Amino acid sequence: MRTRIKNYLLIAIVVAAGYGAMSHHIIFDGWGFPYFLKKNSLHLHETFYSISRKKPETIMREEHLCNADIGQLLVELGEISEEEKYQLENKFCPDY
């Protein structure tokens, strides 16, 4: 009985970790703590993404990241201004 409960608990942990990975983008900026962006739908595209040493244009070209509002994160990190964010969203995310 105890083994069965441990197995169910392990399965629940694996399912929760999988759901967490499918519902959030985990953004790395160097060696600091990662940032989490909520995805619009459950998928594994750009689940782990590093923005260090990348131009803002390159980052905003990723459709899934653009739809998850990575532009706002770039503004908060001081990588781009609010005006640049608006221009990049109009250029790369016209339907956003």
One-letter amino acid for residue 56 of the chain = P
Name the domain count of the chain. Answer: 1
Give Cα 35 distance to the centre of its chain.
7
Q: Which two tokens stand for residue 69?
A: 């509002």
Query: Quick one: pLDDT at residue 32?
Result: 85
Task: Say what the pLDDT of residue 47 is.
Answer: 93
Range of the domain at 25: 2-92
- Residue 9's pLDDT is 97
- Give per-10-residue mean pLDDT for the chain (96 aa): 94 95 93 92 92 94 92 94 94 78
In angstroms, rounded to a whole number, what is the distance separating the alpha carbons of residues 63 and 25? 12
